[in-house]
Structure 1
């Protein structure tokens, strides 16, 4: 590697906790990135990826972590010795960062234009009119529609993909030498993800930016990386050109990460467990009508938005039906209608033959136990003030089970989902994300349901943890015959867990049938488009070699 063109050099970086008995978090991390190059840091949660990026931009939490040795050089300047004032000067002008969740990174009370304008106002001496022109040009470069409207919009008025484009525009506004992207596509559907990755590459080539890209998605690594560093417990265990590392991984840990990536080839169909139909949805509709307020007396009522439009499907015991599609396709609204977390505006939802679509809250209660939900975010789905045992027995006790009986069942369920017996007395914050999702599954099973609705239940997890949770779902179905309605934007996951797949676009079903047919030989152009833009589609991860 030419030393003349190196933008970022990290040498023997050591970061440890700030307490009486410091623990090392980074243990001598070293890597380099040239101008115009993308280096991916990959590894499981806790491997040190994000700590490496936060150290680089000087955003380590001062009371918790500190860099104790090593060097972090940006164009030869050691950032570990830079003053806070100097770091503020460098952020935005010479280095910038795109965070994972744009909704928390953007200010909710400022318009998009105002937030981008602030970046220019802090780092340049241009006039207000010149700044507005630059901001509009930046919005245009990231291919946002109707840039004048975007300029005046607030973050909550934009989609997830649009907010991430705003973050990219903000990061590249001053044409920094280094761009750090920390899991910027994790929560996005495959189409938006493809667009964001293409955009980063396009802007990088235009400006010669060095990119440090942090991800746990090996498919993304294939699509965007020039070189890759594999991290484990604070160390880089393997690094090199992306094709070399993925084709011939030397470390067992790298091989485990690759084999954990689900294949896009649908798994063989499982034999039907039984003829019992546990969920039957017919002509389901959900229309959101905007609130008219007092002005409704003076103007024509606004048309509503049909988030779900005449959707029908069936689900038998022990089977998994995947609902796939882009953000805004109506997947989650459909799930909430089936769960009766919201009331549908039309159609029928039958659980074990009983139509629950028109029942009131009191009449619904006897049927609630038959259908349970596992939510996307394992960090928010459990009450932080209740022990795990209290969370698991709450539902059964509400339905009349004695406390001792419910607690015995809770202990059995924790063993079933692979957690130690002492987990029953611990709190959610004492567990990892994957462990919390296992607890959420155990809580759903405590009600002995016929159907589990899993809404993006593995999208926030590392590939290896994701593989474990998917295997757990399969094991539970084999044991108990539970049917699963699996909502996902990840076609790889759908291919490996689903017996049948229903593809949604703008609230409507565009294709529905066996997974091998829908994903293996799609008939709808929209389904083919989703498969074509799946990250790393050209790579056979299980064989460590490009697909023939």
Structure 2
């Protein structure tokens, strides 16, 4: 990406928000969700709205789109002005006309925003059919042209595809095409790259910048990733507990933050400097993986097929108290390896030895007594924790199943809550009563309850904001130091890998292309693919904790492709 300083003081103001207050519907005396928000965005400008989960970023975007859930939230006072049009006073019919034509939005998860039973080309055309008088042929031609503009491959095929047949990056490009097909004045992007790997994320950020340059669109970009902010922002507003606590041009914010909260967010951003190397234990390796292969599909009654080789000849070991990180793009085979090790799927070939037992060929019944030796923490704790079970039941289930008396299991559960820095009296609560970071702490406590030799963390911090992410990484580090557990850490974020991993294994299309100490792999990569991953890491030019650039390259004042 090419960076240049941009001054928007003379540009036309697209969005003006003044003293915006949003509160709970029908409860005017309750504490406001948004408290006196002021915001300006001008044509061609990228304004980033940052803050921790629950700070009010997404509520601000939904208010601007007129999409606040009426039974939960309402605008109580203030102004949202879109080039002279007062959104706060608009009728539903007026807002339907306004959306897509003058203001559009890209949501975080395109799979939930796209209709799963409609072909993606039809969904883009639906915008044209609702807001224009184009003929069927012209609407399709315009759709195809827009799909080409967002650099989708094999446009004719993708036009007829369903959302589930596309990759995450391709689905996000469809959302961008849908949002920009009517050339709106304002584009709101709500965490559009959070779930994407670094190379796909870079492509999407370049695409948004390219489309912005082409159409002169103002962009309100919502994110918790300060690395992304450093790459794309012209100006930044920092939100905390429903208020904007600091606003500044990006260079000023990164080099001279004024508020303690802003400094805290910046200091929590991980960088690519690897952690200090830890000594190798003299004890036997906790896990040995040798010649691991995993092929999906293949065979067939009438014809033979090679299938999809998701992992090929994967080899590694992890010693007690050490962490091996597996990194790579989506589809590289990272999670496939993790699932094979956990025996959530059966590997096609190879050996997996955990705590002295070769588990790859064991039957499910034979495997059962060995499962306590290896536990997993998934990406989304809300889906991995049973919503109908209290925390106490979730933490006690495993130990009780392996013979621990109920009273002893409850005492141990209380100790685990303290270990993960949660109150003991929270044992009687349910998962929905906790924040995302707290739920992930509970998921970690559940895994540690079994006193495993190996802990597998599959994208365990990728959905968390930077400050909570830092806390969870510190927690994993403390647990590892206290119990000497070996850890396999799956991530697409090399900055996170640098903070926690002793060794890094890089995968591409099922193959291990590089493997070695984290300091060597991340500081002096030998494979071009690894170098590309590092080059794509957002914010790599910045030392956020010390508020300075890492090299002589100018700080970004906006990005263009």
TM-score using structure 2 length: 0.96
Aligned partner of 1:351 in structure 2 is: 354
Say whether residues 1:250 and 2:258 are aligned partners: yes
Aligned partner of 1:406 in structure 2 is: 409
Q: Is the CA contact 2:11–2:43 (under 8 Å) kept in the aligned structure 1?
A: no
User: Alpha-carbon deviations, 1:486-513, whole Å to 9, x = none?
Assistant: 0000100000100000000000000001
- Greater shift in the superposed pair: 34-43 or 3-12: 3-12
Aligned partner of 2:455 in structure 1 is: 452
CA distance in 2, matches of 1:236, 1:390: 40
Q: 1:148 aligns with which of 153, 156, 169?
A: 156
Q: 1:416 aligns with which of 406, 409, 419?
A: 419
SS of the equivalent of 2:116 reads coil
Q: Is the CA contact 1:285–1:308 (under 8 Å) kept in the aligned structure 2?
A: yes
**Following superposition of structure 1 onto structure 2, how do residues 464-475 of structure 1 map, counting pairs within 5 Å?**
464-475=467-478
**Following superposition of structure 1 onto structure 2, how do residues 295-374 of structure 1 map, counting pairs within 5 Å?**
296-297=301-302, 300-374=303-377
CA distance in 2, matches of 1:2, 1:490: 36
Q: Is the CA contact 1:10–1:32 (under 8 Å) kept in the aligned structure 2?
A: yes
Q: Is the CA contact 2:270–2:496 (under 8 Å) kept in the aligned structure 1?
A: yes
Number of residue pairs matched? Answer: 543
Q: 1:129 to 1:291 in 2, by over 3 A?
A: farther
User: Alpha-carbon deviations, 1:11-68, whole Å to 9, x = none?
Assistant: 1100001244533000000010001000000000010000000000000010000001
Q: Is the CA contact 1:273–1:481 (under 8 Å) kept in the aligned structure 2?
A: no
CA distance in 2, matches of 1:370, 1:274: 20
Q: Quote the offset at 1:301 in angstroms.
A: 3.4
CA distance in 1, matches of 2:192, 2:56: 17
Q: 1:440 to 1:274 in 2, by over 3 A?
A: farther
Q: Quote the offset at 1:273 in angstroms.
A: 3.9
Q: Quote the offset at 1:197 in angstroms.
A: 0.2
**Following superposition of structure 1 onto structure 2, how do residues 214-233 of structure 1 map, counting pairs within 5 Å?**
214-233=222-241
Aligned partner of 1:12 in structure 2 is: 19
CA distance in 2, matches of 1:146, 1:303: 24
Say whether residues 1:22 and 2:25 are aligned partners: no
SS of the equivalent of 2:257 reads coil
CA distance in 2, matches of 1:341, 1:398: 19
Aligned partner of 1:184 in structure 2 is: 192
User: Alpha-carbon deviations, 1:85-143, whole Å to 9, x = none?
Assistant: 00000111111100000110000000011111111100111000001101111110010
Aligned partner of 1:89 in structure 2 is: 97
Q: 1:516 aligns with which of 504, 516, 519?
A: 519
Say whether residues 1:500 and 2:507 are aligned partners: no
Aligned partner of 1:196 in structure 2 is: 204
Q: Quote the offset at 1:274 in angstroms.
A: 3.8
SS of the equivalent of 1:40 reads strand
Q: Quote the offset at 1:271 in angstroms.
A: 2.0
Q: 1:80 aligns with which of 88, 93, 102?
A: 88
Say whether residues 1:388 and 2:391 are aligned partners: yes
Q: Quote the offset at 1:418 in angstroms.
A: 0.2
Q: Is the CA contact 1:322–1:485 (under 8 Å) kept in the aligned structure 2?
A: yes
User: Alpha-carbon deviations, 1:357-386, whole Å to 9, x = none?
Assistant: 010110000110000000001221111100
**Higher RCO (CA < 8 A, seq sep 6+):** 2
Aligned partner of 2:542 in structure 1 is: 539
CA distance in 2, matches of 1:165, 1:334: 28
Aligned partner of 2:490 in structure 1 is: 487
SS of the equivalent of 1:188 reads coil
Q: 1:4 to 1:505 in 2, by over 3 A?
A: closer
Q: 1:514 to 1:13 in 2, by over 3 A?
A: same
Q: 1:509 to 1:33 in 2, by over 3 A?
A: same
Gaps of 5+ in 2: 1-7, 552-561
CA distance in 2, matches of 1:290, 1:249: 56
Q: Quote the offset at 1:472 in angstroms.
A: 0.3
CA distance in 2, matches of 1:349, 1:89: 58
User: Alpha-carbon deviations, 1:212-247, whole Å to 9, x = none?
Assistant: 000000000011100000000001000010010111
**Following superposition of structure 1 onto structure 2, how do residues 119-198 of structure 1 map, counting pairs within 5 Å?**
119-198=127-206
CA distance in 2, matches of 1:106, 1:94: 20
CA distance in 2, matches of 1:503, 1:391: 34
Say whether residues 1:63 and 2:66 are aligned partners: no
User: Alpha-carbon deviations, 1:191-227, whole Å to 9, x = none?
Assistant: 0000000000000000000000000000000111000
Deviant stretches of 4+, over 4 Å: 1-4
CA RMSD, 1 decimal: 1.1
Q: Is the CA contact 2:299–2:306 (under 8 Å) kept in the aligned structure 1?
A: no
CA distance in 2, matches of 1:368, 1:4: 62
CA distance in 2, matches of 1:103, 1:274: 47
Say whether residues 1:106 and 2:109 are aligned partners: no
Q: Quote the offset at 1:437 in angstroms.
A: 0.4
SS of the equivalent of 2:389 reads coil
SS of the equivalent of 1:454 reads strand
Gaps of 5+ in 1: none
SS of the equivalent of 2:55 reads coil
